[in-house]
């Protein structure tokens, strides 16, 4: 039987950051993941296929947390794309909103980071923590390993059985194992969830015109299309000509686009984007997945606490999923460190309730906003479309409100 103070299940962005955030806690930690850890790969971008199809728009708040963990500095500069502008418009109207970092005297609005690059830097940090001789905290990495069973014993705590028969006990379990969290299901959490009735297509593309460090979003009756700028070496001939796309569509339309060859897909994307950056000349492998919103009614139960997508999953419209997870990490790590300092049990409901109180309202507000956008830009009568255009134009012409929105989005 292996005994730990905290066991984190899931070594994705949220789970890995959670372990690093507890590096100075003096706790005995274990991290479980079904796949081996993958550190940063020293592979420069030579072709569109070298980009990860999944990216996140990291806010300034996320950057500060990752810097404090020593992760941001470890990522290659030529894989971090700072974006300084964001353009949002409606396909069926004439209104648009333009956000610019210089309007709020900021160097950028955020950074587009490939998920594999961020995860690789986090995993390198985990390996250093696990093998460091002068660390205050003991970290055991169990990867690959699969959680087979969980039960809660009030006298012992959390009891886990792995697929290889290994038994583990822990005072606290942190579920960071994704939107379809097996641990959340084993622990009996209730969730509210519903389908967006859309599919998302993600891929990397090459454009004729430079993206100019600008993120672009277009709202259409059929869905939402986002172009997110990708980094490349400044000396490269095609610098600023790569973007990651997220295209939210009705399932039938998504299936039609996924069935196209690359040339036909690039033509369809060029038309849908209204030639934002000229013709799309190339695309990498495409991936498609259903969009579903999910939120746990409570973030803790017995010896289990939820973070990241295990607690809440939202529309990828604004690329905010990873940011919400990192804010969860910051809040939960702060509460656990405070509990250690004052001698409270890690599973003390007062400790975990403070974490839930700090994060649940913010997460619900973000989810409500995404749902509101989805409903507002569904196929609507002419009068509603006119009101949408009028409202968008009003926001663009109201600098105080627009700047406030930018600061809120940046954290």
1-23 pLDDT tens trace: 579 999 999 999 999 999 999 99
Res 220: pLDDT: 79
**Pair 268, 257: CB distance under 8 Å:** yes
Q: Domain residues for 307?
A: 2-410
Res 386: pLDDT: 46
314 band by pLDDT with thresholds 50, 70 and 90: confident
- What's the mean pLDDT in 103-121? 93
- What's the mean pLDDT in 93-114? 85
Q: What percent of the chain has pLDDT over 90?
A: 67
Please determine, for residue 397, whether its predicted confidence score (pLDDT) is greater than 70. Answer: no
Structural tokens at position 390: 């009028």
Structural tokens at position 208: 């004729």
Q: Which of 59, 17, 399, 403 is nearest to 176 (CA)?
A: 17
Q: What percent of the chain has pLDDT over 70?
A: 86
Res 267: pLDDT: 97
Structural tokens at position 16: 């890995």
| Least confident interval from 116-125, 187-196, 265-274, 364-373 | 364-373
3 state SS of 377:
coil
| Least confident interval from 113-127, 131-145, 353-367 | 131-145
Model confidence over 217-227: pLDDT tens digits?
888 777 789 99
- What's the mean pLDDT in 128-150? 89
Dihedral angle, C-alpha 322, 324, 328, 329, nearest 10 ° = 30
Write down the mean pLDDT value for the chain: 88
3 state SS of 111:
strand
Angle at 37 between CA 146 and CA 323, to 5 degrees: 95
Model confidence over 189-218: pLDDT tens digits?
999 988 878 899 999 999 999 999 999 988
Please determine, for residue 235, whether its predicted confidence score (pLDDT) is greater than 60. Answer: no
Res 179: pLDDT: 93
**Pair 309, 193: CB distance under 8 Å:** no
Res 316: pLDDT: 73
Q: How many domains does the chain have?
A: 1
Residue 26 to residue 123: CA distance in whole angstroms: 20
Q: What is the CA radius of gyration of the chain?
A: 22
Residue 102 to residue 200: CA distance in whole angstroms: 32
3 state SS of 266:
helix
pTM of the model: 0.91
Q: Cis bond leading into 144, ω under 30°?
A: yes
CATH number of the domain encompassing residue 34? 3.50.50.60
Residue 189 to residue 215: CA distance in whole angstroms: 37
């Amino acid at each position: 039987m292996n005994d730990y103070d905290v066991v984190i299940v899931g070594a994705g962005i949220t789970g890995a950051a959670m372990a690093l955030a507890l590096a100075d806690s003096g706790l005995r930690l274990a991290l479980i993941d079904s796949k081996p850890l993958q550190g940063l790969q020293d592979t420069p971008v030579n072709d569109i296929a070298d980009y990860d199809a999944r990216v996140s728009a990291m806010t300034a708040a996320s950057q500060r947390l990752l810097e404090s963990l020593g992760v941001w500095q470890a990522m290659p500069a030529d894989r971090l794309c700072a974006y300084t502008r964001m353009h949002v418009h409606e396909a069926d109207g004439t209104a648009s909103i333009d956000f610019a970092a210089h309007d709020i005297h900021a160097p950028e609005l955020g950074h587009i980071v490939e998920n594999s690059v961020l995860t690789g830097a986090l995993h390198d940090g985990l390996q250093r923590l696990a093998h460091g001789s002068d660390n205050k905290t003991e970290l055991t990495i169990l990867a690959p390993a699969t959680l087979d069973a969980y039960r809660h014993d009030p006298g012992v705590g959390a009891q886990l059985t792995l697929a290889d028969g290994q038994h583990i006990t822990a005072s606290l379990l942190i579920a960071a194992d994704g939107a379809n969290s097996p641990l959340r299901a084993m622990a009996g959490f209730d969730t509210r969830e519903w389908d967006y009735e859309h599919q998302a297509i993600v891929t990397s593309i090459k454009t004729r015109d430079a993206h100019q460090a600008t993120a672009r979003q277009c709202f259409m009756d059929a869905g939402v299309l986002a172009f997110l700028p990708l980094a490349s070496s400044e000396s490269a001939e095609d610098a600023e000509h790569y973007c990651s796309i997220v295209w939210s569509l009705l399932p039938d339309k998504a299936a039609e686009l996924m069935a196209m060859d690359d040339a036909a897909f690039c033509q369809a994307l060029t038309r849908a984007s209204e030639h934002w950056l000229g013709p799309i000349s190339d695309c990498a492998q495409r991936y498609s997945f259903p969009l579903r919103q999910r939120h746990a009614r409570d973030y803790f139960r017995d010896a289990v606490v939820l973070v990241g997508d295990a607690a809440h999953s939202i529309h990828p419209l604004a690329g905010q999923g990873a940011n919400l997870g990192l804010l969860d990490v910051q809040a939960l790590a702060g509460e656990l460190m405070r509990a250690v300092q004052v001698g409270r049990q890690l599973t003390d409901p007062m400790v975990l309730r403070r974490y839930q109180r700090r994060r649940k309202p913010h997460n619900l507000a973000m989810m409500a906003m995404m749902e509101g956008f989805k409903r507002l830009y569904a196929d609507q009568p002419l009068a509603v479309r006119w009101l949408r255009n009028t409202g968008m134009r009003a926001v663009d012409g109201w600098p105080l409100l627009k700047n406030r929105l930018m600061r809120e989005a940046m954290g």
